[in-house]
Amino acid sequence: MTATTTAALRSAEQVVAPADGYASDALARLGDPHARLLAGPAEFGHEELGAHEVRLGALELPSSAGSRAAFVDLISAAGINGRGGGEFPLATKMRASIGAAGATGRPVVVVNGSESEPASRKDRVLLERRPHLVLDGALLVAAAVGAPQIVIYLHASSMTTHAAISRAISERPADEIARILVTTNDGGFVAGESSAVVSALSGGRAAPVRRTQPAAASGIHGRPTVVSNVETLAHVALAARFGASWYRSAGGTQTPGSTLLTLAGGLTEPGLVVEVTGAVDFATLLTTFGEFAGPPRAILLGGYGGRWVSGGAAWNVPIDRGLLRRAGVPLGCGLVAPLPASACGLEVTVRLLDYLADQSAGQCGSCLLGLPRLAAQLRDVVDGVATRGEVRRILELAQGVSGRGACAHPDGAVTLLESAFEVFRDDVRAHARGRHCSGRASGWFPLPGDMNLTDLS
């Protein structure tokens, strides 16, 4: 974390808090009455269509040109941005798709449920427990842009998710069932990136590609393609029923609407998905769901290709996607993972960097060759066999890798590394002098094969 990022977080801390301070009632678990996306039954199993409609009302799709335009305007007024990492305005994608329709074929709506971030579960929770929210949102967007087809894109390993969403689709009316296709990919970490999704659904590899036009204008086989994250579409289903003003009444000062987080690291229930419905800071989140009397040493935000931040710098900062993005710490997939007191931040980082290096799409030398080299050199630091000069060369190599790939994958890995060198500066110096620590890494920050995340609740 650079000094600029630290200063930006300190500035973000100055956002005016509610008069009564930040309170834990702005945090909701599955089934809590004050939840939005997670409202409804808390017991295991998905909410069936009948119960969903009793709770929220039946869905009314826009059917005329006027109602379709009004619906896009509602999405714009609500300020619904993507919840998959890019945080791109959904209304902008929809308008681009409508504007390109006809020239290259009718639009397609893609529900991106691959959720390839190993510790993230928020999209799986929605698909498995609140699938009709997601289906409602997809059908609304498809009706508004004139898309006859909806594709739900999942990771092949998500068998529980596949079964849940397939069962939910079977509960829908026959005309809706005919429009929805569920497909899977067996790609890795980069397979959920939007251009990789379009490539896979066009018959290519599930790997990121350089695009001259956005997918909304020319995507699957050249057709306008609206690729949206699962959580984004669930928000659409609620905004359509309750309006833009209601939608904007939750969330922070910079980003309207609630936000789902997956908790990992040194918290009481790793894997728990919670919903931020109002003004709340990291201190409230971590004291509510962890045994923290004060700031942890560090927090990993935004996923494994995200950024380490100082726990002290982030402690009193509001959890607001827009605010954090402006501070240079995007919330991304919504992963929040404080470093446990017993863990070594450098050991965790090299473990995650090894994983990211293994997940290269193999398209660019900077990623295919540069990331494994960075991971190996960082391992030398952790093992206490790297000199100070070699530590400097690691950072020089990182600067040569960043920005050189066809996608942002190597950039995320470099961000993880550079932020670790800043936040754990004293550890870097100690390890470079040959001193070891006994902090473990596994378990707190899960990787594929470590555990079955679908069993967590």
233-286 residue pLDDT tens: 999 999 999 999 999 999 876 789 999 999 999 999 999 999 999 999 999 999
For residue 209, give every residue at least 6 positions away whose Cβ sits within 8 Å of its Cβ, in sequence order, or none.
195, 196, 198, 199, 406
pLDDT digits (tens, 9 = 90+) for 131-190: 999 999 999 999 999 999 999 999 988 899 999 999 999 999 999 999 999 999 987 899
Write the CB contacts of 266 (distance below 8 Å, at least 6 apart in sequence): 290, 292, 296, 337, 338, 339, 340, 341, 343, 444
Q: How confident is the model at residue 453 (pLDDT cuts 50, 70, 90)?
A: very low
Give backbone dihedrals phi and psi of 431, rounded to 5 degrees, phi first: -65, -40
SS3 content of the chain, % helix, strand, coil (to 5): 45, 10, 45
What fold does the segment set 37-248 form as a domain? Answer: Rossmann fold (3.40.50)
Cα distances from 246 to residues 26, 67, 249, 250, 257, in angstroms, run 16, 19, 5, 8, 9
Burial (CB < 10 A; 0-12, 13-18, 19+), residue 372, is middle
CA distance 17 to 26: 13
pLDDT in tens, 376-421: 999 999 998 888 888 889 999 998 898 877 788 999 999 999 999 9
Mean pLDDT (whole number) for 67-75 = 98
The answer to whether the CB of 415 falls within 8 A of the CB of 306 is: yes
Mean pLDDT of the residues in the chain:
91
- Highest CATH level, class, for 3-14+250-338: alpha beta
- Over range 317-323, report the average pLDDT: 93
CATH 3.40.50.11540 in the chain, residue ranges = 37-248
Q: 440: pLDDT confidence band, cut at 50, 70 and 90?
A: low
Q: Which residue has the tokens 């905004």?
A: 239
Q: Which helix (H) or strand (E) holds 152?
A: strand 149-155
CA 208, CA 190: separation in Å to the nearest integer?
7
% of residues, the chain, pLDDT over 70? 96
pLDDT confidence of residue 449:
74
Tell me, what DSSP letter sits at residue 33?
Answer: T
Would the pLDDT of 2 be above 70?
no
Q: Which residues contact 203 (CB under 8 A, 6 or more apart)?
A: none
Q: What is the pTM of this model?
A: 0.94
**Whether 35 contacts 235, CB under 8 Å:** no
Q: Are strands 273-276 and 259-263 parallel, antiparallel or unpaired?
A: antiparallel
Tens of pLDDT, residues 214-237? 999 999 999 999 999 999 999 999
Q: For residue 153, give the H/E element and its range.
A: strand 149-155
Contact by Cβ (8 Å): 199, 205: yes
Which residue intervals of the chain bear CATH 1.20.1440.230? 345-439
Tokens read off for 99: 């504007």
Whole-angstrom CA distances from 190 to 83, 118, 123, 206, 419 are 17, 12, 16, 8, 21
Strand order in the sheet with 307-310: 27-28, 273-276, 259-263, 335-338, 298-301, 307-310
Q: What is the DSSP string of 37-98?
A: TT-S--SSSPPPHHHHHHHH-------SHHHHHHHHHHHHHHT-B-SSSS--BHHHHHHHHH
Query: What is the pLDDT at residue 420?
Result: 96
Single out the residue of 278, 204, 252 nearest to residue 27, CA to CA. Answer: 278
**Residue 297 and residue 397: Cα distance in Å, rounded?**
27
- Tokens 């069932």 sit on residue: 177
CA–CA dist 357, 151 (Å, integer): 30
Across 264-394, the runs of DSSP E, i.e. the strands, are 273-276, 298-301, 307-310, 335-338
Nearest to residue 9, comparing CAs of 417, 259, 331, 287?
331
Q: Assess if CATH 1.10.3720.10 describes domain 345-439.
A: no
The pair phi, psi for residue 183, each rounded to 5°, is -135, 160
Asked if the model's pLDDT at residue 288 lies above 50, the reply is yes
C-alpha closest to that of 219 among 233, 232, 209, 230: 209
